[in-house]
Amino acid sequence: MDMRKTDAQKASDVIERAGLAETDRLRRQVEAERRRSSALISALSDATQLLDSNFVPIAPKKVKPARAAKHLTRVIIPDTHGAHIDTAARDSFLHDLELLKPEEIVWLGDHLDCAGTFSGFAKQSTHELAENYSTDIAAANDFLDRAQALAPNARHYYLQGNHEFRIDRWAVRSFTNLPDALLAIAALGYVSVLHLDRRGFQHYNQDEFYDGLTIPGTLKLGKVRFTHGFSCARQAATVTLERVSDNVVFGHTHRVQSVIERTAARTAFGAWSIGCLSKLQPLYRHTTPTSWSHAYGAQFVNASTGTFAHFTVPLIEGDSLLLNVINGLDRHGSC
């Protein structure tokens, strides 16, 4: 056998030796990097311990607890009369309700008309023969549903009006004993057909007393009393203020009125009649033009003191004057 290495073998040996040398160099480089990393980690550890020994924690910033709202918005809804509601006035009011986002809503009553079967008055027009309680209930519930959807967090107070009270009067005329009369009222009365308990509404009957007040069917919130109304006099606001002798908002007359008084014994107090959202010229008044007005009430209340600013917001041919004010502030800049 020829012991001499071929040129190919010699080249292979050279490559092998070069590879071993390169591998050794890389190993030494890795070891050097490892030593430097260990030294750096040790230095960082010492520095961290020094920082920890000198660290003074910063006291967390005290967060003030959220304050209760200083003011609340209250909306007062006058007579709508179920199926006799004016749709343009209704839609304008609902648009305002969405803007105002009230915390409280007071329903002043007569949101059911209870005409037809339950009216004790003689019918004046053939149109009245078409009236029925089912349509009346459906229209009232539709309006309540819409209002609740636009003010989902509001507290609701519902006062029975003289039209809702027609059910009670019908029951007294129709039954000869109290249990049957009460059963009929429970089944057909405003609390049941408008689902007020399920809605979470507080409700106030026209023939019951509340909160120690001397006028039945009357609610007091803060410094204001609310009642459906008991006078249709030409100057009903004056009559009502004289009888209540306190701030009072009422419906019933369908007219917009207000009167403010001041006595030596107390500061100013007033009465506000806030119109209606029902049709301004119903057919049963076809021979007598009305002096009714579309409007509703809005109050801005100091939640701690109960003091308030009252506004009766007119709705003119379906146009809310509240929108005019808001648009004016947007155009000229609000403060």
Q: How confident is the model at residue 82 (pLDDT cuts 50, 70, 90)?
A: very high
In a domain, 10, yes or no: no
> 141-166 pLDDT, tens per residue?
999 999 999 999 999 999 999 999 99
Strands 319-320 and 308-316: antiparallel
Residues with Cβ within 8 Å of residue 247, at least 6 apart in sequence: 223, 224, 225, 269, 270, 271, 308
Rg (CA), the chain: 39
Global pTM reads: 0.76
In a domain, 31, yes or no: no
In a domain, 270, yes or no: yes
In a domain, 61, yes or no: no
Q: Is the pLDDT of residue 9 over 70?
A: no
Find the CATH number of the domain harbouring 302.
Answer: 3.60.21.10
CA atoms within 13 A on the CB side of 77: 31
| Percent of residues, the chain, with pLDDT higher than 90 | 61
Among 7-21, 76-90, 136-150, 273-287, the least confident range:
7-21
> 243-290 pLDDT, tens per residue?
999 999 999 999 999 999 988 888 889 999 999 999 998 877 777 899
In a domain, 34, yes or no: no
CA atoms within 13 A on the CB side of 243: 17
In a domain, 200, yes or no: yes
Contact by Cβ (8 Å): 189, 163? no
Q: Of the segments 126-130, 229-233, 327-331, which one has the largest average pLDDT value? A: 229-233
Residue bearing the bigger pLDDT, 184 or 10? 184
The first and second tokens of residue 250, run together, are: 């009422």
Total structural domains in the chain? 1
Closest by CA to 299, choosing from 235, 232, 245, 247, is 247
Q: How confident is the model at residue 228 (pLDDT cuts 50, 70, 90)?
A: very high
In a domain, 40, yes or no: no
- Supply the range of the domain harboring residue 169: 72-332
In a domain, 33, yes or no: no
